[in-house]
Amino acid sequence: MAASWTSGSLTRSESLRFEQVDGTLTVAADGRQTSSSGYWQSAPTPAPSCAVEITTTVESQSEETLIRARALVQWNAASGALLGVDYLLPCERTESLHELRVIAEPPPGAATYSIMLLATNVGSSAVRWTTPRLTERENPPRRPVTVASARLPANLDQTIEFNLSQIAPTLAATAPQHPDIVCLPEMCVSWGVNGGPRDVAVARDAVLARLAEGAIASGAIVAAAFYEAADDGEVYNTALLVDRRGDLIGEYRKTHLTTLEILSGVRAGTTLDVFPTDVGRVAMVICWDMWYPEPLRLASLKNAEIVLWPYEQDRHVAHRQVTARARAMDNGVAIVGSSQVGPAPIIDDDGNILVELESTDPVYATLEIGGPLSGPRWPQSPPACRNRRNLIAGERNVSLSNAIAEWSVPPGQ
């Protein structure tokens, strides 16, 4: 990037100071409230087949000021009309420094782009950016991923042993369709068995062995959820993710428990991880998690591309369709649902239901993930909202999330 940047504020403010020294761009203030201010620079749009990768760091001794600092790429037509906005998102964080990065695709018709480094209400602190580094790179294409949803066969005399014995054959039956990922339901071990969660909980290794066998037989990455009798003496509602070779990729423990689970002594999980696989970045949620916005939002912020969603049964089909489609659309993630009873959808990252599991016959769909997201992705606010995942991180207000946490009331109070 050129050494000279234009500096200024959205409103005239004599309390601001701008300095450009040795590749560092600084905005400082005398303590008074200020509007968005900072630096910007424009350049011609790269070739249509290319994207731009932009990285910078932003530093401030005030954590609150640092949270409000942002960097973005604004795309414009030759007429000056705004065509889109992409935000640089944190890839590394400390209390006083964020490293920001974006890979942005020029929207159709873009003639120029502007890199903007902005801070709001700097107060008595200062915000410093390193001069952004820009690299043109080939535009990554969307990638096809074949996914499947399957359920276990029913049996008049359902037992834990019977359910365990059906996991590998159910997965193996999908092999002729060559899926990349297969999702089995929640409670895949205890479905149809009398007793509460503690009565039907099994050790993780018992389920892992059956999933590993099924993964090898199907040639797919596989997932399923069950009540786990953990080594710490607790019972969790746990989902396991296993690769094509039968090795454990990772686990997720249900974070949003039903009232029945809470009263039965099930322990909630506290983390949600996103796992790199040979087809993309995969997260898992379980049943009731989908009714809350936080799990899918966190998965998206951690750059998940596919979210696997095992659940038991669906008594509220209309509500589920609206909720799950909205989660996919809001967060730019595909969702693969699997239930033991009732329809279970496979949803693309634009919120479209591609197919639904309605019997013991598995269903399949090919998702297009990664690469540029065609837009506008939020029709109600075009044209700037081209990339949902980028936008929700760039424009979300964390103060409301903090307020939600303060107002949360533990069950039973």
* pLDDT greater than 70 at residue 33: no
- Predicted confidence band of residue 214 (pLDDT cuts 50, 70, 90): very high
pTM of the model: 0.77
> Which pLDDT score, from 0 to 100, does residue 127 have?
84
Closest to 133 measured CA to CA, from 146, 110, 117: 117
Delineate the domains of the chain, giving CATH numbers in brackets. 6-140 (2.60.120.260), 143-369 (3.60.110.10)
Share of the chain above pLDDT 70, in %: 86
pLDDT at 220 over 90: yes
pLDDT of 358-413, one tens digit each?
999 999 999 998 865 543 344 333 333 445 555 555 556 667 777 777 776 555 44
The three state secondary structure string of the chain is: CCCCCEEEECCCCCCEEEEEECCEEEEEECCCCCCCEEEEEEEECCCCCEEEEEEEEEECCCHHHHHHCEEEEEEECCCCCEEEEEECEEEEECCCEEEEEEEECCCCCCCEEEEEEEECCCCCCEEEEECCEEEEEECCCCEEEEEEECCCCCCCCCCHHHHHHHHHHHHHCCHHHCCCEEECCCCCCCCCCCCCHHHHCECHHHHHHHHHHHHHHHCCEEEEEEEEECCCCCEEEEEEEECCCCCEEEEEECCCCCHHHHHCCECCCCCCCCEEECCEEEEECCHHHHHCHHHHHHHHHCCCCEEEEECCECCCHHHHHHHHHHHHHHHCCEEEEECCECCEEEECCCCCEEEEECCCCCEEEEEEECCCCCCCCCCCCCCCCCCHHHHHHHHCCHHHHHHHHHHCCCCCC
pLDDT of residue 31: 56
Sign of the torsion formed by the C-alpha atoms of 92, 57, 119 and 384: negative
The tens digit of pLDDT for each residue in 263-296 reads 999 999 999 999 999 999 999 999 999 999 999 9
Which of the two residues, 370 and 219, has the higher pLDDT score?
Answer: 219
Give the pLDDT of residue 219: 98
The lowest-confidence range among 3-7, 73-77, 339-343, 388-392 is: 388-392
325 vs 314 pLDDT, higher one: 325
Residue-wise pLDDT tens digits, 331-351: 889 999 999 988 999 999 889
**Contact 150/357 with Cβ under 8 angstroms?**
yes
Q: Is the pLDDT of residue 78 over 70?
A: yes
**Across 45-54, 205-214, 346-355, 390-399, least confident range:** 390-399
Give the tens place of pLDDT for each residue, 234-265: 999 999 999 999 999 999 999 999 999 999 99
Contact partners, residue 316, CB within 8 Å, separation at least 6: none
Question: Is it the case that residue 43 has pLDDT exceeding 90?
Answer: no
